[in-house]
């Protein structure tokens, strides 16, 4: 039995939107489905942002998995992508909750969305890009910029989907002790000064529920969503 079903699209606005439309129509029968597109024209990022991509340069995929609203999924997804990308470039970190970072710049972003029965895990990897728009050029990098090599986007998406579906099956979408330990070790926020909402403090750990624990002057807070700026990174 194959680990996941594959839908390969020439072009779509957003693989996450495509996945959600199929889920709504009840047209996804396999437990895990990879939706991959050669060209995403209206990609969405976290917190209502857009996601920049270019055909041939950016890997755009979504994995649909049978787990509703489990907060750890988004962090587990970062771990799975990390496991694949580190085979190509070894010095990678994770910026909470789920950016993959190299040389303090963003290599991959993940947008996880849930329906009542499934998770849609949207993954964007800057693969063969050599330039970015002015808005993000100071904080984005690509695998090609890091290694000088070109990558086959579809092939890599299948590796990511395989790794992620294996990890989710193994953990059932929960943050196991070993996943939490590994994530915490890789998390670039830990020990750094971070800014969130209108506050700042030192990130001291990751909670079992996936939130970032930050010690401010006044208290210790658990951050479960939103943007966190890490001093010296972005």
Q: Which residues bind ligand BTN (CB under 6 A)?
A: 14-16, 40, 43-46, 49, 51, 60-62, 99, 109-111, 122-124
Closest residue (Cβ) to ligand BTN?
109
CB of 132 to ligand BTN, least distance (A): 13
SS3 state at 126: strand
CB of 215 to ligand BTN, least distance (A): 26
Give 159 or 176: the residue with its C-beta nearer to ligand BTN: 159
**CB-based contacts of 37: which residues, under 8 Å, 6+ apart?**
8, 9, 10, 11, 12, 15, 18, 60, 61
DSSP type of residue 23: H
Helix or strand run (H / E) with residue 100: strand 99-102
Give 58 or 171: the residue with its C-beta nearer to ligand BTN: 58
Give 61 or 145: the residue with its C-beta nearer to ligand BTN: 61
Does the bond joining 209 to the residue before it have cis omega, within 30 degrees of 0? no
CB of 206 to ligand BTN, least distance (A): 18
Give 52 or 179: the residue with its C-beta nearer to ligand BTN: 52
SS3 state at 231: coil
């Amino acid at each position: 039995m194959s680990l996941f079903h594959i839908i390969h699209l020439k072009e779509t606005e957003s693989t996450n939107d495509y996945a959600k439309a199929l889920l709504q129509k009840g047209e996804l029968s396999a437990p895990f489905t990879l939706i991959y597109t050669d060209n995403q024209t209206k990609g969405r990022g976290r917190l209502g942002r857009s996601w920049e991509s270019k055909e041939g340069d950016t890997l755009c995929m979504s994995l649909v998995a049978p787990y509703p609203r489990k907060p750890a999924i988004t962090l587990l997804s970062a771990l799975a992508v990390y496991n694949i990308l580190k085979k190509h470039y070894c010095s990678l970190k994770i910026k909470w909750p789920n950016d993959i970072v190299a040389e303090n710049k963003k290599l991959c972003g993940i947008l996880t969305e849930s329906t009542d029965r499934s998770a849609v895990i949207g993954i964007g990897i800057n693969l063969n890009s050599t330039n970015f728009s002015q808005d993000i050029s100071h904080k984005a990098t690509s695998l090609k910029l890091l290694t000088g090599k070109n990558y086959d986007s579809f092939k890599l998406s299948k590796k990511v989907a395989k790794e992620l579906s294996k990890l989710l099956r193994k953990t059932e979408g929960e943050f196991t002790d070993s996943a939490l330990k590994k994530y915490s070790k890789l998390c670039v926020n830990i020990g750094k000064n971070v800014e969130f909402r209108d506050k700042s403090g030192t990130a001291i750990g990751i909670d079992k529920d996936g939130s970032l624990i930050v010690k401010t002057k006044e208290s210790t807070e658990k951050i479960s969503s939103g943007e966190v700026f890490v001093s010296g990174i972005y």
